[in-house]
Structure 1
Amino acid sequence: MNLLLAAAFVICWSSGFIGAKLGAGSADASTILMWRFLPLTLLLAVVVFAVQRNAFRALGSAELGRQAAIGILSQSGYLLTVYYAIQLGVSSGTTALIDGTQPLVAGALAGPLLKQHISARQWLGFCLGLAGVIVVTTADASASAGVAWWAYAVPFVGMFCLIAATFIERGFETSLAPLPTLLIHCTTSAAIFSVLAISTGNAVPPAEPSFWLAIGWLVILSTFGGYGLYWIILNRSGVTKVNTLMFLMAPVTTIWGALAFGEPLGVQTIAGLTLGLLAVIIVYRYDRTQVRTEGQNRRQRTRSATP
């Protein structure tokens, strides 16, 4: 995996948690998400129909429905739970780390659903990541006495949404280019968030400059950067590698949140983040070894087949 691509993905995806925190002080989660996706969808529509006018010509109803479902899960469900958790008082770093447990579930399901082998070394890394989540969540809950215990379960719902979207995407081939695909996802999310905001009386945006700063931040860094790079890396490297990078979101977001918002960064939190980083090293080193082994095996088979 290209190191610069991976680093850009981690930074851009982490920026989404920081952007959610920026907007949480001035508006409801549904308001932020509605005004994040309405202008984004209009901008994408202009670009897509100007550059790829015939992108949807051969699009069937089944593929359209599948892409809409991916958008509902990977954007609407995932983002709403992240924003709601932060609005409830869960720190941005803890939310990022809980969402970073995706490799645990994705790894468990990759075998039966995608017929991928999951080694004992990978499971060790995944379990260390889970231990890190428990340590950090406990520390955050102790430091945030006013946060309800069930608020820490909310990010897990979003994590399951994103995993479901990932498996749907990996289970079917599509002829759509990335931009038209993103337009379908964003259109679906814009409709859902608009209905939610209007029905709850939260459609009118606040006048605070911090709100519009958060919107610009989320559109440019989080959506185009984080969401776009997620699918690019997923297509290039597979479920295990892209989800392994999710463990890096927590330390980046935690340090970022501590510097920007004064969120707690104690010894227990650092210990939990260290477990998460150790999990990344174990799983990622296994992936690199596996790739080299497979390459050597292919070369040996090629040489043996040569007359």
Structure 2
Amino acid sequence: MRTSPIGIPARWLTFAMSAVFVLCWSSGFIGAKLGADQAPVLTILMWRFLAIAAVLGAALWVLSRRRRLPPMSWRQFGLQLVIGVLSQCGYTVTVYWAISLGVSTGTTALIDGVQPLVVAALAGPILGAVTRGRQWWGLMVGAAGVVLVTWADASSSEGAPWWAYLVPLVGMASLVVATFLERRVIDAPAPTVILAIHCGASAVIFTVAGVVAGVAVPPMAGTFWVAIAWLTILSTLGGYGLYWVLLRRSGVTSVNTLMFLMPPVTALWGAAMYDEPFTWTTALGLAMACGATWVVNCGAAERPADGGMAAKEVAGVAR
């Protein structure tokens, strides 16, 4: 059994990282609802990314002073800039906007939950990666579980215009494009540098947008700053940061299958925090999503290749 540099079996470490990733990514929907009651979307996003950009900028300054950062070409920087704009600006603004329009967190998570099927369908043609029959069955069961969890919520939602339900679909597509762009990067910089570039670009874009829209001044309510801390620590550092780490560790299909767990976890969290209904369909959908995640990742772990899906993706790109 392979072990990590700190002595923990690699499979256990991946499992632990995946569990934390699911919780942190799901926290973004809850945090978005928490902040949406206090300020406009642009205000929340502006201060969220300003906070994280300041923290990461300080970390990079310390690392550069200790000469622990390898040089990076303009090509690498430009590519990471594009990936950051798509995966952060394109994704987060649509999620926040949809929720502010009246789309529930569960429905928004449902639309994002379609992402694994899109990624699995495109992984072969674009990356040359292999999605096996067992994994396809897991993906379909996971999709069914996601629909089951949020169907009642989606059908009973009122107040949001019909086109609001298309907004998170655009964000999902933006994250998918960014994911495939990242998988074609062979000489990627360190994860800390990548996260700093992505968050720095988002901070600049949302700050300019907030100033132009006249909503740059934050409210003084304590709940607003709780939401900013929540989104900065849990959603950005935890969820977004682990997304890219796990993407290289486990591969596209395995990581994106974890997205199936977001809607049921969000529904469970919403029930506990906002008294949203949690029915037997929610429990059944959660069980289906968990089972689908195990099936797909178990299928990936059975491959003989040392790098799993990631190795096959790199091989496909090299061809």
TM-score by length of 2: 0.85
| Separation in structure 2 between the aligned mates of residue 175 and residue 106 of structure 1, nearest angstrom | 21
Larger mean Cα displacement after TM superposition, 88-97 or 2-11: 88-97
| Separation in structure 1 between the aligned mates of residue 304 and residue 45 of structure 2, nearest angstrom | 39
Distance 1:158 1:175, change over 3 A: closer
| Partner SS for 1:165 | helix
User: In structure 2, what is the equivalent of residue 13 of structure 1?
Assistant: 25
1:225-240 map, 5 Å: 225-240=238-253
Structure 1: runs of 5+ lacking an equivalent: 296-307
1:148 to 150, 161, 174: 161
Matched, 1:158 2:158: no
Structure 2: runs of 5+ lacking an equivalent: 1-12, 309-319
User: In structure 1, what is the equivalent of residue 317 of structure 2?
Assistant: none
Q: How many residues in Structure 1 have an aligned counterpart in Structure 2?
A: 295
User: In structure 2, what is the equivalent of residue 58 of structure 1?
Assistant: 71
Q: Are the equivalent residues in 1 in contact too, given 2:265–2:286 (CA < 8 A)?
A: no
Q: Are the equivalent residues in 2 in contact too, given 1:101–1:129 (CA < 8 A)?
A: no
Matched, 1:181 2:181: no
**How large is the Cα RMSD of the aligned pairs?**
2.2
1:97 to 91, 94, 110: 110
| Separation in structure 2 between the aligned mates of residue 151 and residue 205 of structure 1, nearest angstrom | 25
| Partner SS for 2:223 | helix
1:35 to partner: Cα distance: 0.4
1:30 to 32, 42, 45: 42
Distance 1:124 1:31, change over 3 A: same
User: In structure 2, what is the equivalent of residue 206 of structure 1?
Assistant: 219
Q: Are the equivalent residues in 2 in contact too, given 1:139–1:269 (CA < 8 A)?
A: no
1:274 to partner: Cα distance: 4.1
1:125 to partner: Cα distance: 2.1
Q: Are the equivalent residues in 1 in contact too, given 2:257–2:296 (CA < 8 A)?
A: yes
| Separation in structure 2 between the aligned mates of residue 92 and residue 48 of structure 1, nearest angstrom | 34
| Separation in structure 2 between the aligned mates of residue 233 and residue 294 of structure 1, nearest angstrom | 12
1:1-307 map, 5 Å: 2-53=14-65, 58-291=71-304
Distance 1:184 1:259, change over 3 A: same
Report Cα offsets for 1:68-111 as digits up to 9, x if no partner.
00100111111111111111222223322321222101101110
Runs of 4 or more consecutive aligned structure 1 residues displaced over 6 Å after TM superposition: 292-295
1:195 to partner: Cα distance: 1.8
1:198 partner letter: V
Distance 1:76 1:221, change over 3 A: same
